[in-house]
Structure 1
Amino acid sequence: MTDTPLLLTLVVPADVSESLLEALLDAPDLAPGFTTSPAEGMGAAVRYTDTTQAVRGRAAYLRIEILLDEPRAAALLAQLKPRFANPRIFYWLTPSLGHGRFA
């Protein structure tokens, strides 16, 4: 275990995003705050949920970023994975070399 904060990034299909956001909001002890932004998935491994996405060659996703310590990140993933078992949800963890507020 390390003291370095981690950035948990979740990339969630649009059709699942509201449910996952609600789960995060219902767990303020594990996800005290987070940032979201729209994203589009492209490539051979992307599954399209409708004809419009297939024609455009891009699938709609929501990107969620949460800065956490390692125990919270592990606990949050352990809570989310069984509830949202979906091969279209991607995540990764990266170390944060610095963070803070400007004021």
Structure 2
Amino acid sequence: MDHDLCKLNLVFPVTAEDQILDFLLDSRPALPGFTSLRVEGHGAGFENASPREMVRGRIERRLVFIVLDRARLESLLAELLERIAVPNLAYWVEPVEQFGQFK
């Protein structure tokens, strides 16, 4: 297992998508790349849901995940907290056992 790699997951409102993606694309040192997805949140926390979302019982969100060095993780999170004011942004970190590409 490569203990130096982890996966950062960010989940945030659709309205913050451009702000978050621009932040990640402009981050220095440059990130190795990331993936963004359209997702839906379920469960508690519907205070800010639109009427449509309340009827459907799920909230539209965006998910970004990044595999990066643990050493870079803390500085990226600190910079995100300092530069981006996004309410309802959630994150979690997972260990990465292996990472590679088939060519």
Classify the TM-score, shorter chain. Answer: 0.7 to 0.9
Q: Deviations over 1:43-81 (max 9, x none)?
A: 112443421112111111111010111121111100001
**1:97 corresponding residue in structure 2:** 97
Where do 5+ consecutive residues of structure 1 fail to align?
none
**1:17, distance to aligned residue in structure 2 (A):** 1.2
In structure 2, the partner of 1:24 is 24
Counterpart of 1:56, as a letter, is R
Q: Residue type matched to 1:77 in 2? A: L
Alignment of 1:65 with 2:94, yes or no, is: no
Aligned to 1:40: 40
Which runs of 4 or more aligned residues in structure 1 lie more than 2 Å from their structure 2 counterparts after TM superposition? 45-49, 82-87
Tell me the equivalent position of 1:4. 4
**Higher mean C-alpha displacement, 70-79 vs 48-57:** 48-57
The number of aligned residues is 102
User: TM-score scaled by structure 2?
Assistant: 0.87
Deviations 1:81-100 (CA, angstroms, capped at 9, x unpaired): 13334441110011000010
Task: Describe the shift of the 1:37–1:31 C-alpha distance in structure 2 as closer, same or farther (beyond 3 A).
Answer: same
* TM-score relative to the length of structure 1: 0.87
CA RMSD of aligned residues (A): 1.8
**Contact 2:3–2:96, Cα closer than 8 Å, also in 1:** no
